[in-house]
Structure 1
Amino acid sequence: MARPRKPLLSTDRIVATARELVDAEGLAAVSTRRLAAELGVSGPSLYNHFRTKDEILEAVADSVSAQVDLSMFEGGRNWRAALHDWAVSYRAALRDHPNIVPVLAQGPGRRPAALRLADAVYGAMVEAGWPPPQATSIGALMRYFIMGSALGSFAGGFVDDQSAYDPADYPHLGQAHLLPDRQEKIDDRAFETGLTALLDGLERQYERVAGAAR
């Protein structure tokens, strides 16, 4: 029998299938046995590409980091505008793959795409005139904010049952039952409000840094 033109298994195919499982069912759904069944191969064949389940999840996490746009840090663009657009792109990637956030939250480790992301942000801040320690802090601050926004929905945490919000107990939550239906709009607005506040604060700090440099 002639050999297939394309190999039955590849690293990219394993990662894509694992990512689909994580998206649909969460981290616990990923196992070598389950992946092998989904891919239609024997379990041991996965070990030609990944040694452990944790390595697979690391690769899935890095595939999500690779979806974040970094082009705004090129060409000497204003640091505030670049940070804003990067944060929006980062949040969009996490919003599409929320179940992998706990792995991403552990830090970049040795993941190439995650390290490129960290390098781009830090490098752009230093080039803009931020001292290296503060550039590091900005990268950390933005990561905390963006990751936190992806861990859950504020609006989605309420129930759409008006009786749950008895005005005798919760006099200011009379409209809370409407929040789930407006989840995306409310969460987007909250993210933008927080991001603007962070950037406003950073801009005030930057004025002091720039003034000291002059």
Structure 2
Amino acid sequence: MESIWTRQRTASPARETLSRDQIVKATMELLDAEGLAGLSMRKLAARLDSGATSLYWHVQTKDDLIDLVIDQVYGEVDVPDAELAGWRGGALLLAHSLRAVILRHGWLPEVIYIRPSIGPNAVVMGSRGLALFTAAGFTGRDIDYAMNAVLSFVFGNVSPHATWQATVRRSGYSVEELNREILAEVAQLPAMDPMMHESVQRRRVVDMDQLLNESFSYGLDSLLDGLEKRLST
């Protein structure tokens, strides 16, 4: 799988005024507004008020655009030094920062596992993350496993939240209105198990965003508790 990061970059003509940074910015804006399905070289060229030829001096394919914006997203993730935050505090900040970034760019879960994350920002984020788990006392492959456990939890937990946000935007309802409508339908299901009924009632009195935020924090704290326990055994 060829990546823009491993391909030798071709110099653009002296008169070319379009920059890679401009292309990345416009691509991010298009993806944030229309999602992955709305991304095309034609639409991007129109947004930049530029011809397709100018784009091809910088990117050869749509995959090139995806590689660039994935790395741009990783540049938004905050990973503190373990000396300043401690390994657990650093892991918490990394996880919450990554979650916030994914929610800003809801298309990311669709592409993150189909393109190699080997751009400069991804490498820096990965290195800083590994340093956190090394500082915690993990060694060898356990360093990688611990970090992968946290990153996998974040993506697994936040992907439904990002989908929920997109659903709300498309519905024309507010979060509260859509949540009430869905739960009202669930509550009408015949012969609902009593435990399930109680769960639905609990959800009806909590804002959906609050519920998802609290669920994320609960799961993350539980995961880090487990990692700490492994260190002590």
> Residue by residue, what CA displacement relative to the aligned partner does 1:110-134 show, whole Å, maximum 9, x if unpaired?
2221121111111222233211211
Q: Any residues of structure 2 matched to 1:36-185 within 5 Å, and which?
A: 36-70=45-79, 72-75=80-83, 77-106=85-114, 108-153=116-161, 156=164, 159-161=179-181, 162-166=184-188, 168-170=190-192, 171=194, 172=197, 174-175=200-201, 178=204, 182-185=207-210
Matched to 1:18, the amino acid is T
Structure 1 residue 97 displacement after superposition = 0.6
Distance 1:57 1:185 in 2: 31
Matched to 2:218, the amino acid is T
Distance 2:135 2:186 in 1: 52
Structure 1 residue 193 displacement after superposition = 0.2
Distance 1:206 1:76 in 2: 20
In the other structure, the counterpart of 1:205 is 230
Structure 1 residue 160 displacement after superposition = 2.8
> Is the partner of 1:98 in helix, strand or coil?
coil
Instruction: Judge conservation of contact 1:108–1:114 (CA < 8 Å) in 2.
Output: no
> Is the partner of 1:110 in helix, strand or coil?
coil
In the other structure, the counterpart of 1:35 is 44
Which residues of structure 2 form unaligned runs of 5+?
Answer: 1-14, 168-177
**How many corresponding residue pairs?**
201
The partner residue of 2:34 within 14, 18, 25 is 25
In the other structure, the counterpart of 2:215 is 190
Identity of aligned residues (%): 29
Which residues of structure 1 form unaligned runs of 5+?
Answer: 1-5, 209-214
Matched to 2:211, the amino acid is I
Structure 1 residue 37 displacement after superposition = 0.8
Instruction: Judge conservation of contact 1:62–1:112 (CA < 8 Å) in 2.
Output: yes
Instruction: Judge conservation of contact 1:154–1:187 (CA < 8 Å) in 2.
Output: no
Structure 1 residue 165 displacement after superposition = 2.4
Distance 1:69 1:155 in 2: 23
Distance 2:200 2:119 in 1: 46
| Alignment TM-score, normalising by the size of structure 2 | 0.77
| Alignment TM-score, normalising by the size of structure 1 | 0.83
With 23-32 and 188-197 compared, the bigger mean Cα shift is at 23-32
Distance 1:78 1:102 in 2: 32
Distance 1:163 1:48 in 2: 53
Instruction: Judge conservation of contact 2:71–2:120 (CA < 8 Å) in 1.
Output: yes
Structure 1 residue 188 displacement after superposition = 0.5
Instruction: Judge conservation of contact 1:65–1:114 (CA < 8 Å) in 2.
Output: yes
With 96-105 and 57-66 compared, the bigger mean Cα shift is at 96-105
